Amino acid sequence: MSSPLFTIILPTSIDRGLLLPYSIGSVQKQSIQDFELFVIGDGVNDFTRGVIAELKAKDSRISFFDFPKHPRR
């Protein structure tokens, strides 16, 4: 398996779960399909984490990097 042509980095935070299907869907509809998508979670909540898991299960090009916030932040 060869490396993807390019990598897309999509940062997200807290409660953006409802928007992610649109932003990730836009990436998936591009004419060049040889990419990997890194979703960077900056303190996402459980709902957003679940949405990302569903999208990731449907597309192997998606990777999720979860960076939880400290409870005081």
Query: CA 58, 7, 55: angle at the middle one, nearest 5?
Result: 15
Determine the Cα–Cα distance for residues 24 and 2; give it in Å rounded to an integer: 22
Q: Does residue 1 surpass a pLDDT of 90?
A: no
> Tens of pLDDT along 7-46?
999 999 989 999 999 999 999 999 999 999 999 999 999 9
What number is the average pLDDT over the span 44-66?
Answer: 97
Residue with tokens 């679940």: 50
pTM passes above 0.85: yes
> Which has the higher per-residue pLDDT, 72 or 51?
51
